[in-house]
Amino acid sequence: MSDRQEILVLGAGIAGAAAAHHLARRSLGPLTVYDPRTPSAGATGRAAGIVTEQMWDRWDFEVVRESRAEYARLAAERDPSAYRENGFARWTARTDIAAALGEAGERLRAWGANVRRIPSAELNSFLPAMKTEGILDAWFDPDDGVVTPSRLTEIYLESARAAGAEILLGEPFGGLRREGGDWTVSIGRRTVRSHRVLVAAGAWSKRLLASAGAPLPLAPYRTQAALLLPTLAQTAEFPSAHDLDLDVYLRPESNGRILAGDGTQLVEVDPETAPWGSDAAFVEHLAESVGARFPGWADADLVRAWAGVCVSTPDRKPLIGPVPGAEGLYALCGFNGFGVMRAGGAARRLAEAILAEGSAQAEEAIRPVLPSRFPAELPSFAPRPGFTLEGGLDPRF
């Protein structure tokens, strides 16, 4: 069986689903979303779902703000439980980090963020379980929120299907190749030919692009999170929070539970063989960190813990746009752990660039993240994602 598509989206995580939503609504022609697994089976289904505009660079800030507005709108229209506004706070007790945090806060304010410095007493009012002694600086954005990534992904796919897109799941993948001016993908018993292919395959993007003869600088890595339940369940809503010193984040979950991470491991892994369960060392670190900073939650029970595989790039920015030297091939990957935060706005910008191919204005919207920013040959690099405070690029590029 063979059929032809105008565009084929590889990957049904939140990035691929958001791209399908925006592309299908723009009537570019027959569109198929394909994933050999189920929607959100990769990093999306294991993501924390924190959406904060407290990012380190102007492009990121604007894209996350666009994503946040889109998520709020879609949730209001289709499922209010998919997004809620609870704010985001971060803090430090270290002098060197306090200086960088203050600079980051002022930079965000200059960009229009509704972020403000808060005293320890106010931080403690948000988080009564927290020990705030020694905190030197803390910042809070009341407009930030949390999402249910898997539900948002479903909403995006439902919208794409309603606009005419085909959603093809669970069939074996037989490779991507260039053939007769089109891209050809073997999917189960079908051969799908497409004028354009968008790779939004998360941790599998590196292998997929390399197999198609179009490698990009990507490094998959493991990150971990856990669900905690305090003995006295946390019933009141509280802001998502990030302790910059311990590198631990928390967000409220349903039924009095707390989602906590970050168990990021800064080594490259193979997503096919990386364990999806948590490590004992991560659980121990989390217990020590939560006990030290949140004594009110020190006796929390561990409900479950898990791992996911995200993808890093050399400069912490994603790869979005045409793949150099591969006509009709596009990338939407390498989000460095911030795929949920960026997906909506990034997918919209890419869809507009594809629709207006050759338009300087459309390309300008994704210029900082174009895959062509890297030289053709790059040395291997170690993943180094995270909530960053600096305002510059990697000095190597």
**C-alpha distances out from residue 31 to 4, 9, 336, Å:** 9, 8, 27
| Per-residue confidence (pLDDT) for residue 280, from 0 to 100 | 94
Beta bridge partner(s), residue 8: 32, 197
Q: Is residue 131 part of a domain?
A: yes
Torsions phi, psi for 240 (to 5 deg): -60, 150
Do 106 and 136 reside in the same domain of the chain?
Answer: yes
| Per-residue confidence (pLDDT) for residue 396, from 0 to 100 | 31
Taking alpha carbons only, the member of 246, 292, 201 closest to residue 386 is 246
Q: Is residue 137 part of a domain?
A: yes
Q: DSSP per residue over 259-305, as a string?
A: EEE-----S---TTTS-SBPPHHHHHHHHHHHHHH-GGGTT-EEEEE
**C-alpha distances out from residue 305 to 26, 224, 249, 296, 330, Å:** 40, 7, 14, 20, 34
Do 237 and 307 reside in the same domain of the chain?
Answer: yes
CA 315 to chain centre: 15
| Per-residue confidence (pLDDT) for residue 393, from 0 to 100 | 36
pTM of this structure: 0.94
Tokens matching residue 397:
């590029």
Q: Which of 312, 331, 358 is the last residue of a domain?
A: 312
Q: In what order do the strands lie in the sheet with 88-92?
A: 116-117, 137-141, 88-92, 240-243, 248-252, 258-261, 219-229, 301-312
CA distance 205 to 338: 16
CATH of the domain at 361: 3.50.50.60
CA distance 188 to 24: 24
Do 108 and 240 reside in the same domain of the chain?
Answer: yes
**Residues listed for the chain:** 397
Count of domains forming the chain: 2
| CA-based R_g, the chain, Å | 21
Do 205 and 333 reside in the same domain of the chain?
Answer: yes
Question: Which string of b and e fits 156-180 if b means at least 16 CB within 10 Å?
Answer: bbbbbeebebbbbeeeebbebebee
| Per-residue confidence (pLDDT) for residue 356, from 0 to 100 | 84
CATH of the domain at 117: 3.30.9.10
| Per-residue confidence (pLDDT) for residue 56, from 0 to 100 | 83
| Per-residue confidence (pLDDT) for residue 233, from 0 to 100 | 61
CA distance 43 to 203: 8
Domain coverage including residue 138: 85-145+220-312
CA distance 63 to 362: 14
| Per-residue confidence (pLDDT) for residue 358, from 0 to 100 | 67
Tokens matching residue 352:
């507009």
Torsions phi, psi for 382 (to 5 deg): -90, 140
Do 214 and 224 reside in the same domain of the chain?
Answer: no
Taking alpha carbons only, the member of 98, 7, 49 closest to residue 240 is 49
Q: Is residue 389 part of a domain?
A: no
Q: Is residue 286 part of a domain?
A: yes
Do 199 and 260 reside in the same domain of the chain?
Answer: no
DSSP state of 233: -
If the chain, 397 residues long, is cut into consecutive pieces of 10 residues, what is the mean pLDDT of each piece?
82 98 89 96 95 92 97 98 96 93 94 97 94 96 97 98 96 92 92 95 96 95 95 78 92 93 90 94 93 92 95 94 96 96 97 84 90 84 74 35
